[in-house]
Amino acid sequence: MKIFPAIDIKDKKCVRLVKGDFDNKTEYEMSPVDQAGKYKDHGFKNLHIVDLDGALTGETVNLNIIKEIVNKFDLKIEVGGGVRTIDSIQKYTDVGVEKVILGSAAIKDKNFLKEACQKFPNKIALGLDAKDGYLSVSGWKENSNQLTLDFLKEVNDYGTSRLIYTDINRDGTKQSPNFEETTNVANISNCPVIISGGVSSIDDIKKAKGLKNIEGIIVGKAIYDGDIKLDELAREIDA
C-alpha cells in the first residue's frame, strides 16, 4: 500500500486545515520544498499536494513551488486544488506531476472529467470529498445535492486512474478515517482508492492495509503534530 504524506500550500507555506475551514488553519515553519525533502529523506516515494490558493481561485497559484519539488526530488506526486481547465492539467503534467486531482470541476461537469481522462490517460485522479454522504465542492464551501455513491456510478467508466475519498468531517481531526464509507466507495470503484481524512495513528495505516481495492492512504496533520513519527510511518511503506 502506498503512503502519501501531505503538503497543503497556502501563501507559500505548509498549512493544515480542520474540516477544510480556512479560518481554522495551522501554519508550519518548514517550507513546502523543505518538507518534501524531509519526506524524501525518510524514504517516501509518493506525495500528496493540495494548492489551497488554487482551490480558492481556480488558478495554478503554486505551480512554481510544485515544479521545484518535482525537479529536486524523485517523488511520484499527485496534485489537486482548483484544477478546473484542461490548460491547468497540462501545466501540471508538463512539470512532471504524476497525477492531477479533479474535484469540484469534475463533479459540476462530468463531461470535463471524461474529456480530461481521454486527453490525459492514466494521469487523472478523481477527488470525492463528502460530508454526510453528499459531495462538497468549491473548496468544501458548497454542498452539492449529489450522493457520493450515485455520482461514482455515473462516472465509473470514464477512465479515472485513481480515486481519492475524503470524509470532510474527519479531515484534520485525527479521529481516524471513515473506513466504512471508504470501503463502500472502494467496493464499487473501477479504479484503486486512496483513503484521506482523519488519520491519527499507525493503527489506522495497518487497518487500511487490510482493505480491498485500497491503493494507499494520505497522512497529514498527524505527521505535523507529531502523533505519527516519520520513521515509524516509513516502515509501513510497501517495498
* Sign of the torsion angle spanned by Cα atoms 208, 223, 166, 171: positive
Determine phi and psi for 134, rounding to 5 degrees: -110, 140
CA 76/CA 97 separation, integer angstroms: 7
Q: Which pairing describes strands 193-196 and 214-219: parallel, antiparallel, or unpaired?
A: parallel
Q: Which pairing describes strands 21-28 and 99-102: parallel, antiparallel, or unpaired?
A: unpaired
CA 45/CA 98 separation, integer angstroms: 12
Give pLDDT, residue 138.
Answer: 62
Residue ranges of domains in the chain: 2-234
SS3 label, residue 165: strand
CA 42/CA 232 separation, integer angstroms: 10
Q: Which residues pair with 214 in a beta bridge?
A: 193
Cα 183 to Cα 119, 162, 171, 235, distances in angstroms: 29, 15, 17, 24
CA 129/CA 50 separation, integer angstroms: 13
Query: Which triple of cell numbers denotes residue 83?
Result: 484544477
Residues 46-84: b if buried by 16+ CB within 10 A, e if exposed: bbbbbbbbbbbebbbbbbebbbbbbeebebebbbbbbbb
Give pLDDT, residue 140.
Answer: 55
CA 106/CA 93 separation, integer angstroms: 18
CA 68/CA 142 separation, integer angstroms: 32
Domain at 2-234, CATH from 3.30.300.30, 1.10.3210.10, 3.20.20.70, 3.20.20.140:
3.20.20.70
Question: Per-residue confidence of the chain (239 residues) as pLDDT tens digits?
Answer: 899 999 999 999 999 877 777 777 788 888 999 999 999 999 999 999 999 999 889 999 999 999 999 999 999 999 999 899 999 999 999 999 999 999 999 999 999 999 999 999 999 999 999 988 889 886 556 666 899 999 999 999 999 999 999 998 887 777 899 999 999 999 999 999 999 999 999 999 999 998 999 999 999 989 988 999 999 999 998 74
Give pLDDT, residue 21.
Answer: 72
CA 2/CA 215 separation, integer angstroms: 6
Give pLDDT, residue 20.
Answer: 72
Say whether pTM exceeds 0.75: yes
Give pLDDT, residue 17.
Answer: 78
Q: Is-catalytic flag, 225?
A: no
Active-site residue, selected from the candidate residues 8, 167, 171, 204: 8
Query: Which triple of cell numbers denotes residue 125?
Result: 485522479
Active-site residue, selected from the candidate residues 51, 129, 171, 204: 129
Q: Is-catalytic flag, 8?
A: yes
Cβ contact 61:54 at 8 Å? yes
Give pLDDT, residue 110.
Answer: 97
∠ Cα 143 148 154 (to 5°) = 115
